[in-house]
Structure 1
Amino acid sequence: MRIRSILSVAALAGSLTLFCQPAYAAVSEAPRGSIVVTDIVEYQCTTTGVAEKQDIKVKVELTMPAGATTGKQMIIDWHGTYLDDTTALRVPTAGLAGGTKLYAYASISGLTGLTSATGVGELTLSAGQIVPLPSAVVSMRATPSNAGTATVRPAAINFGTKTSEPSIQCKVQNAAALTTSTLTVASADGQPTDSVPVPPSPQPTPTVTTTADGQPTDSVPVTPRSQPTPTVTATVTQASAAGNGKVIKTPSGGAATGGGGESGPDGRALIATGFLLTLAAAIGLLLRRRSLPGG
């Protein structure tokens, strides 16, 4: 009986061990690869329309994103709690408008084109009471455009209904004493984060020297296609000393006429002789008709 009792107790203890988890397992852990940095940030808060300022202290936890890349929105988690009630921000006597929110900021340095991240948290307010900080994590968002490594610090927190119109502005007073968080942004195209693109080396510009006629010295002139040249053969005949000194050119292939129009008997004498003979015949015919009876 004793042995069975001992075995029963051992079995019961083993069952309880399997079903009961340790207390620390209920604590949420940060995402794998992320870095959480906690700082006590001292703020000086100014309320619109109120001369008195409030000095507060907030315990801020910043969680850096893992795997941030260029061109994609990243999230830096912000969570804040007051150090104690004596250093907490209180609602001013005039109260705050309904729908007032917390706007949390983080300063980013070391990356070109990226200077801050911003997040918004919902609040529930009561006049004269402590301004509550969001119990949930505030996601501060930003989109890096360049790869590299940056340093991140907690920055201002504001309270209001709009980002551009805060009712209460709280500025950091101990920025130099805050711990810096490291933010690494990788290039989306797989290039190393510390690589600097090297511009292509300039190509030498060829120098062209031209001659007097405008042709480049290193150019090869293109010979135009030769056109057939017509050949003209001329025969030159020199006139005699008694002539008028003219030169007659006879094209090749023409008839060989010798002296041309300047040689042979004078045609004018032949024409005159024929005209006189015709005139004499006409006169003789006329006289003969008159001498005939009845003429």
Structure 2
Amino acid sequence: MLTSKARRRLAIKTSAIAVLGAGIFVGVPALASSMVPKPVTYMCKNVLNAAAQPTEVKFQMDLAGPLTAVSPSATAVVTWKMTLPTPSLPAPSAIAATERVVVDADVVVTGTPNPLPTETRTVGASSTPGAVASGAPMPLPTILVSLTPTARGTMAVIPQDFALLVGPTSAAGSELDWYTCDIAPGKEAEATAAAALVTVATGTPTSTNTSTGSTTPTPTSTPTTTPTTPKPTKTTTKFVTETPKDNNGKVTKTPKAGADTGGGGDMGPDGRMFILTGSLLILAAGAGGLMIRRRGLNRG
């Protein structure tokens, strides 16, 4: 599809590797400068007009990678935008609103983290710009290039030849070539200068020493005991009454109706005897009084 690029590809790869070697050591400044659009001279041919001669067109190529470094095995996306110069690349025929524009391009991917030291990839994109009049500037879709670096380092994405196709949106794959644009002979360095650089890096692990100078032995194994269910405890209470004994161990006297201390039987007369005696004296005094009164009545 893309004419004349096979003959120049070897020379392009060689120059790309040489320039990339300097870009890797430049580091971050090179990454920042690669985000500025760079002019790249192409020779574009109108495929619809077989008699037309290739026209020199100086595109502004804007290839931009991630703003910060990416980690290995992470996906990095490079955006490739093409800006037409003045005079622009005119549409050789009108583009209907139901048609889409497809860009089919090559890029050279090289660098340390890339699975292959240098490889050429075919990438593409499409857009539906709506109705475009014949002779109006050709709409150019934006291309996204996805990278998956495998190690730390720097990768470069270098723009190469591309083709512009137009076809109905309802029949993908049936688009026709309208333009083929190849890097102009001797202008490969311009394409290399427009390359997007992607830095791949990982954070440096840090360790913190929290030792206080004392060593605490760590047991290698901890015995494990299986808890058992305790059996219920049965408690029996017995009350024993002690019988007083003499020095020879014989029972002397069992106290009865004594105080709670057990010594009431040897403490003397019971208090109830005094109460009973007092009561009898009161009754006797009362009976005597009644008898004396009765005699007084009988005399009178």
**Length-normalised TM-score, structure 1:** 0.42
Q: Which has the higher strand share?
A: 1
Higher relative contact order (CA 8 A, sep 6+): 2
**Length-normalised TM-score, structure 2:** 0.42
